Structures are given as C-alpha cells and as structure tokens.
Amino acid sequence: MTSKDGTAEIYDMEDARRQRAENGDDDDLGALLRGAREDQCLTLAEAAAKTHIKEHHLKAIEALDASALPARPYAIGFVRAYAEFLDLDAVEVVDLFKVGAGFDAPKAIEVEKFEVSDKAAPTEKPELSLLAVIAILAFILWCAWQITLPHEVRQLGSPTQETALVETVARTPSAPVAEAVIDARLVERVEPVYPIGCLTSAGPFETVTLSLSVTPQGRVAGERIVEATNTCFGDAALIAVRRWKFKPMTVDGRPRSAHDQRFQLMFQRPL
C-alpha cells in the first residue's frame, strides 16, 4: 500500500494477522486479503477495475472458492496478481491459497482389501484306480504294436499334392490390410465475442491456442487452453469452441473420437 508521503510500503502479513485476530476476525487468507483491500479503502469493484480481474473472481479468491475460478493455472495467476496489487508477499499468498482452495489436497485412493482365509483347503490325493492302471498298460502295448508295423517309405524329391499345397501357402505373403481413416472436419464455427473488459490490457491483436477432442457424435469435449498471448481472452475462446460442430473422424466408415485437435483464435481490438 502507499504511505502518506507517497512512498510504497510492503503490507506486513504478520501484522495483518495479529490485527485481525485482535478484532475478532478469522485468521485465514481470505480475511487477510479483505483486510489489505479495506485498509486501502477499496471496494471489490474498484479493485477489479485496477487489476483487470473480474469482480466475481476477486470475490471467489477472498472466499477461497476454487469452483468459481477458471482453470488452475489462471486461478493461481489471478491470486498472484491480486497479492502483488495489495503489496502482499505473492509467493506466500499463492501457497496459502493452494492449501485453502484444496489444490494441493491429495486425492483419496480406494484400495480394495482382500481377506486371506486362515484355513487352507485340504489337498486331495487322487488314487489311481484299477481301471486307470489297465488303461495305461493297454496304451503302452498299443504304442509298441504300432512301432513294429511296417511303414510306407516315400521317395525323396516327389512330395505329395498335400505337401506341395502347404508349401505354396507358406511361401505366399499375406497382404497388409490398410484401414481407411478420414480426419474430423469442422462444419460449423462460431467466432468468439471480444470481451470488453479486456480492452485496457489488450494489444491490437491477441491469440488463444486451444486443444480439444471431437466425439463420435461431432461434439466438442475436453477443450483446454494451450497458449494465450493474454489470459483475459481465455474464457471467451472456450465459450466459442464449445458451440462448434464437426463431422467426426471415421475409420473404415465408422465414427471414432479424435483427440488433441488444435485451433488458434484471434481477437482484433475493435476500432
């Protein structure tokens, strides 16, 4: 914040915590952010106008409500920018926000437990019956009798028709089967609306690169921002691509999902 003589001072977070505890306020990050803003006599609307961050996003940051903020990278960027605007330690504020908003909370892993029975099934020892012994002896005698029989000896170099057929099939290479793949094609494109709130922080041209998947029904799914020259235009780009329609990718005539389809949207500053 700014002192009476016009010089910049760093907002002491320890003093803020102590003062808010003495006043009976909750000692959490949201209370610290609100206290720093109120000490500068700023409303949420005024802070939004100065930081170019939407008012409802600032309200969600002070409430540690991650569900009301955009994707994690943009949410953390908003928190860092807001902390620097309030002359707070941006690194510490971001770390506290990650914990308070649940970004760093480990996901519970369900482990299926198996109970091992203490009682092992008794091992049964099969006993050979008299009929089984007789059958084995009969098989051995039959094999010995087959060995003593005379066998036909075929002359080398004159293979039978069946052998020649097998050799011919073995020498014939199997032709590879190629699948006919047709990529997804955009058939209905909705252009994004230029966000008026981004005018103060935007250049003449701003671009947003997105990655999305196309379902077998031709709808957009899994859309995300890959790169943006100005994060202020991210929401407008996502809203636009969600209304796009595609002719889905086909493999041998059957529709399939197409992943990581990349598009670049351009925003031109209105005259």
Cα 188 to the chain's mean position, in Å? Answer: 26
pLDDT at 229: 94
Note the pLDDT of residue 66.
86
The pLDDT of residue 65 is 87
User: Cα–chain-centroid distance for residue 66?
Assistant: 17
Distance CA 267, CA 265 (A): 7
In a domain, 135, yes or no: no
Q: Provide the residue-wise pLDDT of the chain in tens; the chain has 271 residues.
A: 444 444 444 445 555 555 544 554 444 788 889 999 999 999 999 999 999 999 999 999 998 888 889 998 998 999 999 999 999 999 999 999 888 887 765 444 554 554 545 554 455 555 557 888 898 989 998 888 888 776 555 544 555 555 555 455 456 556 666 789 999 999 999 999 999 899 889 999 999 999 999 999 999 999 999 999 999 999 999 999 999 999 999 999 999 999 999 999 999 998 7
We report the CATH number of the domain holding residue 44 as 1.10.260.40
Among the candidates 49, 70, 100, a domain finishes at: 100
Alpha-carbon gap, residue 37 to 60, rounded angstroms? 14
Instruction: Tell me what pLDDT residue 271 has.
Output: 79
What confidence score (pLDDT) does residue 154 get?
52
Check if the beta carbon of residue 98 is closer than 8 Å to that of residue 76. yes
Amino acid letter, residue 56: H
Closest CA to 256 of 227, 213, 222: 213
Residue 134 lies in a domain: no
Total number of domains in the chain: 2
Residue 105 in any domain: the answer is no
pLDDT number for residue 28: 77
Q: Which domain holds residue 203?
A: 181-268
Contacts of 19 by beta carbon, 8 Å cutoff, 6+ apart: 35
Helix pair 90-100, 29-39: axis angle to 10 deg: 140
